[in-house]
Structure 1
Amino acid sequence: MAIDSDGTGPQAYPLFLDEPSDVDLLSFDAVASTVVEALLDPRLDPVALGLSGSWGSGKTSVLRIIGAQLRDGDKNVLVVETDPWRYDPQLGVKESLIGEILSALEKALPEEGFGEQSRSVIRRLMRRVDWTKALRLAATSAVTVTVPSLQGVLDLIKPPEQEDEPEPITDMVQFRAEFESLLASDALAEIGNVVVLVDDLDRCLPDTVVEVLETIRLFLSVPKMSFVLAADEERVAEAIATRFPGNQDAEEESPARLYLHKIVQTSVPVPALSDFDAEAYLVLLQIRTLVGAEEYAEIIRDVSTARRSGEWLDQVTSLQRDAFLEHRNVAIRIRPIVHEKTKGNPRRIKRFLNDLSVRLSIADKRGITLDAATIAKLMVLEQYFPADFQEVTGWLREQTLRSNITALETQAGTPSHAVDNGPAVTDEVPNNASSASGVQADDASDDVLDRNADGGADTHSDTSTAPSSDTASAKKFSGGLVRWARLSPSLGGKDIAPYLVLAASFTNVFLSSEGLPESIRDVATQLLSRSPAEARRVSDEVLAALSTQETTRLIGHIAGVIVDEPGLQSGGVGSMLRIARLRADAVTAVITGVKRIKPGDLKPGGLTQLRRDDPPSLVAALEAMARASGKQELVNAVELAKSGF
């Protein structure tokens, strides 16, 4: 059980905000400090730098670290943070960007003396230019990558609002001169550099992207001004290309890239996460709610030290607490595939963990007791190998799940007996009705199910549609399935069917047995219900009226389901015993059906339902299976039932 971030209550499955982190979990400070050094280099004035990375790579987090380092390091730096994606479209892009910068400068001015004089200049810069007209003029000339001509400049002039106000600025060149003069004024002498951090540029519409770049190039590129543009360079170039037609296939020489490189001198890439980074990120996110802020900061520092010294996480002493063991194991197990499939993208990794938390919470509330590592492994299959996931859910529908899982893990070299197993399945029958094989998937996942520690099913030949064990073992599985099967933990001895039903329901996949005739589908659903009352609704008259073929198909279906879903075994065995008592022609099929269960997978619940009127051959078969299991509890269950004969 984890603790809420405020430390006030339980939070078993925490979600992680899809927002940039103020805590540097990935040593992005190395990237940030490189940018800061360039911004403070007096030889680069003015300068515009790109901070390039794909969606979710951590650009905003790096941008925040840059701002923090600038504020903490050089007190003569004025940092202006802006996000064009959030601009009010009614105000205009250029107006918004210039307005934010001028407002920040105005706040930095002293209250008296030169400050009042400079404040007057700022007001003139704000009021005298009609930026809506400036936008149109700039757009007509920007493709030339030059300052616009003076044609139409007088259209930019607004008449003075008061007679004593300074004369208006007459053109863009004059605006730049006034702006440059403002930055060089005595009032702003204490400010050595104005750094504008522009975020989310690659989220903006193409027109907004171009207008931001135009504003920087045409109006604001003067000494003491520095810009950092956080964006995916490819997306920005694509946005520029929509505004300025030309041969965009020329790569570096394309008009779009020429335009971008004219404004942005160089780009600093945000690197994708390494194997170490991905595993560290998975662990650090999961344990956040388990410790206080100070301890968490210490762990982050220890991980950062290990990263720089080339150590591994198992060498980080502060991570070796027992409370972190499960989270570390989950990270270790899923990291190889998650790291590859997310391409080392922090936001995608965080999203996977959020999805995992949601699944764990829903599964827990629906009585699915699989451990977190097992559900994480199944989620890897679902999210990153969707075609293979459909194949596995198809095994459940075809009643070959356990035999195929066993064969798959054998082919992958990770048989269940060689890997960790969970506690054995109990024989409890909860009082809620449904079956993964015969009802809507969403309803079936309400069952309360237990884990099974023993190996996969022994698929003896029978008259049902399920393939033999030889068929399953001879099957060749896809490379993706084999690779996934090698992830720990093994699934061969676990009751994963309830989770597969739940996961399939999220994608509207219906897992009823399509091969079962419609005439007996409802009968099968009721007989496999976890509610004894629901099973009893199938009357003896209905079972007696079934044809021999229907009865054989029904028995084969029940046998296949209880092999794949051990939690349904007690009810399934009881239903087959009931059919054998009513139908002499079904005894052979029932014996064949129960023999599909491995002796070691038998549970006492089915055996205790033996009665005096059961066919002797069937009683003998179950008694032999109980003795073959080597479990005294099963032998005792048969003897207890026979004592009542």
Structure 2
Amino acid sequence: MTADELRLQLWDDNPSLVDFLGFDSVVAPIVAAIGTPDIDPLAIGVHSPWGGGKSTVLNLLESRLAPRSEFLVVRADPWQYDNHDDVRGDLIVEVLDQVAAQFSETGTVTGAVKDLIKRLSWARIGLTLGKGAMTMQWDVDELVEAFTPRGRTDDRSMAGFKDQFARLIDGLPYVQRVVVLVDDLDRCLPAAVMATLEAIKLFLSVPKMVFVVAADQEMVRESIAVSLGETSRSNAFAVRYLEKIIQIPISLPRLAPADAEAYTGLLLASAEADNPNALVPLAEQCSARRKKGKLPLLGDLGGLDWRPAETTLALATQLAQGLSADRLANPRQIKRFLNAFGVRQLAAQSRDVDIEPAVLIKMLLLEDLYRSSFQTLAATPPAQRGELLSAWETWAAGTEPNVDKPEGIAAETRDWAAAAPPLAAVGLDRYLDLAASLINVGTAEQLSDNVIGLVSTLLGEGQAARDAALVELTQLGESEQRAAMEFALRQARGLADIDVLIEMVIKWADVTPGLVDLVVAAADQGLRRLGPGVPPMMGASRLKADYAGVISRLAADDGIDDMVRNAARMELEN
């Protein structure tokens, strides 16, 4: 097969417009709450960890509400605002702009919007003057005028903004609710999180307004606490502050195994279908069977015009049975594994390595979940690999007495080895050579399965689990810690977002300073991939002098994201 004939199948990370995840049970009550006039104004929180499907829920809500004339839907993403000095103002202008666009032919609405934006403009001038950022010449009288407190009726004051905004919203023709969908709040810096919440609470929270805020609740609470400084009351205040703003908190459910299997099947089917519309009946079939409690959710497909191949459904089942529980419950983690499968499949095709998809998935699961056992298999001479796999599978099946686990194989691999398809008779030599060349196994050969598992947890979901893994890692000898950190940092090449990794190794080096050279080298290597949370963390580290060079390079590099560069410059100023 030539390079031109090869096709890489990847699944994008964009939120879905079709409900693959059974979120109808979440979307329906939110729509009902929005249509209930008794709570006015209303703020709803849609909470889940990273990759849990929050943006998909907002998409589904928008598709339900936008066609209805009584609702005006506004999308807002504070993380993408250009002016990071006035996120509050940007959010308010976003709402006003979309209201004005909807009623562009209504003169009274357009005039009211212009008046409100004028108030914001004066507030922004005051903010700029306060920061000393304007270089024009001002005389004393002009400065006094600019900073003179203004009454509620002054059109240059924010004091009367909320009343004027309330009159604008109340006078919108036909509109019963203005629904603002706020996404990616948990990706913002703490100051931007607070500014967004203040805009909602102080200026936009008037009758007929609804806010649906999609965010990781713990991340938002931490941002509130950070903005208050390290005090004994900051965490308690953060909880109360958020509860004061969000009247209805809704947590997205973790995927059950049956839902994960159906979701994986729908993703695989999307690569197989010629027409994306063919997926809609599949998703509806899943929803109908879910309501009736029938399993598998992707069952009884004979009545559909199009259905995926049985091999595709079998692959979905195989993945649902093989993936670890934490990945199985997270839609984004499932997509990432499928993308790794697509990349490895293409790599095998480019080398003319013939391997069945089911075999490839099983080998990827071994490589991903039980790296040391994968290394044992890869390091076994080709002539002895079949014998090792046969003994491995016999031990896993438990059908013959007195069969011990093969040496170098983790006990946790029993379920993996017992699962279909059997591999003892499969020619894996060429694939193993390819896979071993694509991953770094040298460092991992020095590590136990326990340490590899701790590193995996360190890069996984949940701050508490990551912190617990870090405590265990820092109790190892320094040479073993160095090997473990080198192994962890090599995973950066396969991560779309390396911030969690970098932040955890900064904490790690704070406990074991002898490892700081590894952290600095990794940060330099991934300089343009670092997020805005990294510079403040380096600045707060007890080893901040070691990170000064990294922070300076982040502040000076024009190719760095503006948010990251500004965060680095703030650290240098501090």
TM interval, short-chain normalised:
0.5 to 0.7
The equivalent residue for 1:590 is none
The equivalent residue for 2:501 is none
CA distance in 2, matches of 1:133, 1:260: 29
- Which residue, 62, 68, 87 being the options, matches 2:81? 87
The equivalent residue for 1:497 is 429
- The within-5 A match list for 1:438-453 is none
- Are 2:168 and 1:176 aligned? no
- Are 2:304 and 1:309 aligned? no
How far does residue 11 in structure 1 lie from its aligned partner after superposition?
A: 7.6
How far does residue 318 in structure 1 lie from its aligned partner after superposition?
A: 3.8
Tell me if the contact between 1:275 and 1:339 (Cα under 8 Å) persists in the aligned partners.
no
Tell me if the contact between 1:49 and 1:264 (Cα under 8 Å) persists in the aligned partners.
yes
How far does residue 267 in structure 1 lie from its aligned partner after superposition?
A: 1.3
Tell me if the contact between 1:81 and 1:198 (Cα under 8 Å) persists in the aligned partners.
yes
CA distance in 2, matches of 1:171, 1:119: 19
Call closer, same or farther: CA 1:489–1:131 in 2, change over 3 Å. Answer: farther
% identity of equivalent residues: 32
The equivalent residue for 2:101 is 107
How far does residue 400 in structure 1 lie from its aligned partner after superposition?
A: 4.4
CA distance in 2, matches of 1:35, 1:137: 42
- Which residue, 256, 259, 267 being the options, matches 2:249? 267
The equivalent residue for 1:155 is 147
For the residue of structure 1 that corresponds to 2:329, the secondary structure is coil
Tell me if the contact between 1:85 and 1:201 (Cα under 8 Å) persists in the aligned partners.
yes
CA distance in 1, matches of 2:431, 2:398: 21
How far does residue 174 in structure 1 lie from its aligned partner after superposition?
A: 1.1
How far does residue 155 in structure 1 lie from its aligned partner after superposition?
A: 3.1
For the residue of structure 1 that corresponds to 2:214, the secondary structure is strand
Tell me if the contact between 1:134 and 1:156 (Cα under 8 Å) persists in the aligned partners.
no
For the residue of structure 1 that corresponds to 2:213, the secondary structure is strand
- Which residue, 92, 95, 98 being the options, matches 2:92? 98
Call closer, same or farther: CA 1:216–1:341 in 2, change over 3 Å. Answer: closer
Call closer, same or farther: CA 1:343–1:332 in 2, change over 3 Å. Answer: closer
- Which residue, 405, 413, 418 being the options, matches 1:486? 418
- Which residue, 38, 60, 66 being the options, matches 2:55? 60
- The within-5 A match list for 1:499-538 is 499-509=431-441
Tell me if the contact between 2:118 and 2:156 (Cα under 8 Å) persists in the aligned partners.
no
Tell me if the contact between 2:27 and 2:60 (Cα under 8 Å) persists in the aligned partners.
yes
Call closer, same or farther: CA 1:300–1:12 in 2, change over 3 Å. Answer: farther
- Are 2:11 and 1:16 aligned? yes
Q: Write the letter of the residue equivalent to 1:384.
A: L
The equivalent residue for 2:262 is 280
How far does residue 13 in structure 1 lie from its aligned partner after superposition?
A: 5.0
Specify which structure has the bigger relative contact order, considering alpha-carbon pairs within 8 angstroms and separated by 6 or more residues: 2
> Please, which moves more after superposition, 356-365 or 128-137?
128-137
Tell me if the contact between 2:390 and 2:424 (Cα under 8 Å) persists in the aligned partners.
yes
How far does residue 502 in structure 1 lie from its aligned partner after superposition?
A: 1.7
CA distance in 1, matches of 2:145, 2:25: 46
- Are 2:317 and 1:385 aligned? no
Tell me if the contact between 1:153 and 1:170 (Cα under 8 Å) persists in the aligned partners.
no
- Are 2:38 and 1:30 aligned? no
What are the superposed Cα offsets for residues 400-434 of structure 1, whole Å, 9 maximum, x if unpaired?
4333222111110189xx9xxxxxxxxxxxxxxxx
CA distance in 2, matches of 1:267, 1:370: 47
What are the superposed Cα offsets for residues 158-210 of structure 1, whole Å, 9 maximum, x if unpaired?
99xxxxxx97436443111111111223xx13211111000011111111111
How far does residue 471 in structure 1 lie from its aligned partner after superposition?
A: 10
The equivalent residue for 1:431 is none
Q: Write the letter of the residue equivalent to 1:358.
A: V
- The within-5 A match list for 1:171-210 is 171-185=157-171, 188-210=172-194
What are the superposed Cα offsets for residues 311-366 of structure 1, whole Å, 9 maximum, x if unpaired?
22363224998961221121122212326140411111011111101111111221
The equivalent residue for 1:116 is 107
Compare CA radii of gyration and give the structure with the larger one: 1
Tell me if the contact between 1:26 and 1:277 (Cα under 8 Å) persists in the aligned partners.
yes
Tell me if the contact between 1:94 and 1:212 (Cα under 8 Å) persists in the aligned partners.
yes
- Taking structure 1 as the reference length, the TM-score comes to 0.60
Call closer, same or farther: CA 1:277–1:249 in 2, change over 3 Å. Answer: farther
CA distance in 2, matches of 1:323, 1:179: 52
The equivalent residue for 1:612 is none
For the residue of structure 2 that corresponds to 1:509, the secondary structure is coil
Q: Which ranges in structure 1 are unaligned for 5 or more consecutive residues?
A: 2-8, 139-151, 160-165, 419-469, 514-645
The equivalent residue for 2:70 is 76
The equivalent residue for 2:222 is 238
CA distance in 2, matches of 1:78, 1:355: 40
How far does residue 137 in structure 1 lie from its aligned partner after superposition?
A: 13
For the residue of structure 2 that corresponds to 1:89, the secondary structure is coil
The equivalent residue for 1:595 is none
The equivalent residue for 1:636 is none
Call closer, same or farther: CA 1:168–1:36 in 2, change over 3 Å. Answer: same
The equivalent residue for 2:534 is none
For the residue of structure 1 that corresponds to 2:44, the secondary structure is strand
The equivalent residue for 2:546 is none
CA distance in 2, matches of 1:236, 1:274: 26
CA distance in 1, matches of 2:408, 2:281: 49
- The within-5 A match list for 1:201-600 is 201-247=185-231, 254-291=236-273, 292-313=275-296, 315-318=299-302, 324-338=309-323, 340-396=325-381, 400-413=384-397, 475=407, 477-509=409-441
CA distance in 1, matches of 2:73, 2:58: 11
CA distance in 2, matches of 1:153, 1:211: 26
For the residue of structure 2 that corresponds to 1:501, the secondary structure is helix
CA distance in 1, matches of 2:231, 2:328: 31
For the residue of structure 2 that corresponds to 1:315, the secondary structure is coil
For the residue of structure 2 that corresponds to 1:173, the secondary structure is coil
What are the superposed Cα offsets for residues 230-279 of structure 1, whole Å, 9 maximum, x if unpaired?
0010111111111013556897xx12111111111131111111111111
Tell me if the contact between 2:394 and 2:403 (Cα under 8 Å) persists in the aligned partners.
no
Call closer, same or farther: CA 1:44–1:136 in 2, change over 3 Å. Answer: farther
The equivalent residue for 1:519 is none
The equivalent residue for 2:40 is 45
CA RMSD of aligned residues (A): 3.6
Q: Write the letter of the residue equivalent to 1:116.
A: G
For the residue of structure 1 that corresponds to 2:323, the secondary structure is helix
Call closer, same or farther: CA 1:117–1:298 in 2, change over 3 Å. Answer: closer
How far does residue 297 in structure 1 lie from its aligned partner after superposition?
A: 1.9
- Taking structure 2 as the reference length, the TM-score comes to 0.67
Q: Write the letter of the residue equivalent to 1:51.
A: V
Aligned pairs, how many?
Answer: 426
For the residue of structure 1 that corresponds to 2:75, the secondary structure is strand
The equivalent residue for 1:520 is none
Call closer, same or farther: CA 1:507–1:80 in 2, change over 3 Å. Answer: same
Tell me if the contact between 2:268 and 2:316 (Cα under 8 Å) persists in the aligned partners.
no
